[in-house]
Structure formats: C-alpha cells, structure tokens
Structure 1
Amino acid sequence: MIQYILAFFVFVFSTLASWYEGSEIRSNPWEWKYSAFFSQMLHGSITNSSDISQLDHFIYAAKFKPAFPLLMALSIIYIVMLTGYWLCRRNNKRFRLFYAGSLLFWMLGAIVADSPTIGGHYFTMLFMAAGAGSAAMALLSVLRAKCWRGEELK
C-alpha cells in the first residue's frame, strides 16, 4: 500500500509541475501550430493565448521540458504494473496476458519515435523500456511455469 501512496504522490506532484512548466506555451505563439493539438481540435485556429487548452500545457512540457512529464508517465506506468501484478499474481494465465500487453508500450514508443524534440526521444526510450520490461515479466512467468513448477502451458 505504501508503494501506491508514494507513486500517487509522485504522480500528483509531477502532474502539477508539468502543467506549470507547460504554461510557457501561452507566451510562445510560434509554437501554437505544432504543440496546441487539443486547442486546434476544440477551436480550430488559435488567435490568442486564451484559446489554449490546459491539456496542451502537458504536450508542450513533454516536448521541451520532459523531466516532470517523464516522471508523471513513469509513475502512472508503475501504478498500472503494480496493480496488474497485485490482481494477477495468483493466476499465471492472467499474469502472462496482462504483461503481454507490452505491445501497447511499443506502439506508443513507435508513435512518438518520429518526434524531432528531445522530449519525444526520451518518451520513445521510456515506452520501449516499459515494453521490454513488461515482455520480460511475461517471459519470466512462462519460464517459471514451465521449468520450475512443471506446469503445462495453456
């Protein structure tokens, strides 16, 4: 339970810090075309800083000041993985299926891989590492079931 509480506080702190750092987008009108994705969906063209959505603060922070957005993503990944472990630890089949979801992380990594910003490169590495870790957990579960317990793979 302490792990959940600590991860939750890290998530809340890093979210607030990312939101604050991303508010810099309001003073950079040349970046609105490239980083104000949600605002463009809601308003079409952006004419002044009041048209900027709060969600675009996170995109800007992730692209140009990625420390807190990375911490935010890492803490939410940790919470999800910890929850999956806690829910599936007694059922090997569900455990393997949950951690086989590493494909999702690799897909996220592939989506942001083309980003020319430093934040895009860091997020690509984070998602690829999370995918590799998740795949390793699934593989270890299979090997443990097959080799150490003599369990049949289903």
Structure 2
Amino acid sequence: MKYAIQYLLALMLLVFSTLISWYEGSMIRDVPWEWKYTAFFSKMFNGEVTDNSEISQLDHFIYAAKFYPMYPILILLGLSYILILSGYLLLKNNIKELTVFLSAISVIYVFFGITISSSPTVGGKYFTFIFLFMGGINLALATLFFFKMRKGVKKIGSFIFFT
C-alpha cells in the first residue's frame, strides 16, 4: 500500500507539472526567432517551420525547459522517482542487479548533464545541475547497496554501521 501511495503522488506531480509545462511552452508559437533553435520536433516532422501552426506540441516542452524550467524539472523528478521506485521494487531481492541498475542510471544522468552543460539558457544551467546532482545521488545509492552486498549492514536507530 505504501508503494501505491508513492506511485500515486509521483504520478500526480507528473501530470500536474506536464500540463503546466505544456501551457508555458506554448509561448513558443509567439516567438518566431526561437523556432530555429527550439522547434526540434517540428523540423523533424515537417521540415523548416514557417508558421506557428507547424509547431509540434512536443516543442512546447523544449521551450519550457529552456526558459521556464521549474515545471519541466518537476517532470524529470517525477519520472525519475517512478523509475527508481520501480527498479527498487523489481530488484530489491537481488542487490547486485539493483546496484548495476542505479549505477547505469547514474551514468545516464551524468552524460545528460555533461551534454547540456554548455547551454546558454537558464533552463540549461538548471538542468545541468539537476542531472549531475541526480547522477551523484544514484551513484551514492549504488555505492551504499554495493557495500550492503559486500559486507552486510546493521542498522541501529538512525545510524548505519558496516560490518
């Protein structure tokens, strides 16, 4: 039951932040000079964008991530929480696989963070930090599970002792 509540809360955060991001990103339709740099999906589907009716709904999220990053970051956090919780529930009986899973996610987050680190936009700077931070958190969790697997862990109160 406690996991169902966590999934429900993460899903609610995801839906709410997705709708707000989509709305905020719709401002791309009023900024034609940004279409060249932000209308990635529209170019992929339609070729060169010449009218705001050719803007893909997916490009709304790119624009929001670049210029209004708060809700796109919440989308990322919600998706990440659902992914990590699902991985934990599926792999909690096999610590080795859970460690590999968390390490792989860590590498992916760090890769994304490094990839967008040169972005000049406000959202690019925030996403760089968030990706690198989440990569570090996942690496720390993977390391914790690795030591749990290698040595065994005794938890007393709120302190963790490695034995």
Instruction: Normalising by structure 1, report the TM-score.
Output: 0.94
Q: What is the root-mean-square deviation in Å for CA atoms of aligned residues?
A: 0.9
Structure 2 equivalent of residue 7 of structure 1: 10
Number of aligned positions between the proteins: 149
Structure 2 equivalent of residue 152 of structure 1: none
Alignment counterpart, residue 108 of structure 2, candidates 99, 104, 107: 104
Q: How much does 1:145 deviate? A: 2.0
For structure 1, list consecutive stretches of 5 or more residues without a partner in the other structure. Answer: 150-154
For structure 2, list consecutive stretches of 5 or more residues without a partner in the other structure. Answer: 154-163
Pairing 1:76–2:79 present: yes
Question: Structure 2: which amino acid aligns with 1:75?
Answer: G
Structure 1 equivalent of residue 61 of structure 2: 58
- The answer to whether the 8 Å contact 2:22/2:60 transfers is yes
Instruction: Normalising by structure 2, report the TM-score.
Output: 0.89
CA–CA distance in structure 1, aligned partners of residues 48 and 95 of structure 2: 51
Determine helix, strand or coil for the equivalent of 2:120: coil
Q: Which has the higher contact order (CA 8 A, sep 6+)?
A: 1
Pairing 1:24–2:33 present: no
Alignment counterpart, residue 143 of structure 1, candidates 144, 147, 150: 147
CA–CA distance in structure 1, aligned partners of residues 22 and 102 of structure 2: 30
Structure 2 equivalent of residue 37 of structure 1: 40
Give every structure 1 segment of 4 or more consecutive aligned residues whose post-TM-superposition deviation is greater than 6 Å.
Answer: none
Structure 1 equivalent of residue 135 of structure 2: 131
Structure showing the higher strand proportion among its residues: 2
Identity %: 49
